[in-house]
Structure 1
């Protein structure tokens, strides 16, 4: 969950960018009392070009919509794979563990740019707004290519499918050998 200064920075960047958006803000997990709150008056100021949704959205389905240019992600593996499969650009904010490595991979394939790092980091508003605008402008062929490659890899006979099958066979062999 983002801290108030982080939420304020994201809101300010969305507002400053002038781009259309859907911002899904989730409340805290079970047993937590505080709720993620967007800044006072934010929704009114962005009315007509931005929507704030409380709760969860079916991210994979939303990312596949033709109007979506990209999304802000913490760079968890599932989010990265959903973004790649949908062929959308990512604004990356890794917060821990493998997320930093995932973010580097996304940059290497040209599907994203960093906006912040660390769970305590606060993005620079002007820089984030600029990168958001650039992300919307660079929507296109690279995303389509990545989307095709991801779909082909996941299909039966594709590289991901074959790699998974080989790994399962190897694990089964190891189990038979008692190692």
Structure 2
């Protein structure tokens, strides 16, 4: 039975039959499917038990503690080599975290942020001894807000517009985003 044949059958239903099938799909069938363990859950449990190998990856806590994430490896169609939600890998010079609840075989940075998100450890911040203000060390990947203070190349800057810092938006080159103090 194909999807097209199912669609043809559904369009031929009476309104009462459609109501019955719709109620079943959004009720009983949805609950049954939600109760089944997902492929990602089953594979994850087997990997944690040591029954199946797991792809090389680390967690955000490990990256935050200074561990370098391993390089992404294309898992192809091998489900045991696909990345689970939360896995962190490096690819093309950046760290990426798998954000999808299903097994992830996509190449990081190629699918519009649907399965991977660029990951950066929390920015280092310090208190200015003179003013008591928090000043954050600039680096790419920080979500900044207007008024936030950043240091870059020995100078302090104030953020003018909220944005996420990136390597080609340097504080000393963009007066529309940063004001040198």
Q: TM-score, normalised by structure 2?
A: 0.25
- Greater helix content: 1
- Greater strand content: 2
Looking at CA atoms only, which structure, 1 or 2, has the larger radius of gyration?
Answer: 2
Return the structure number with greater relative CO, CA threshold 8 A, min gap 6: 1
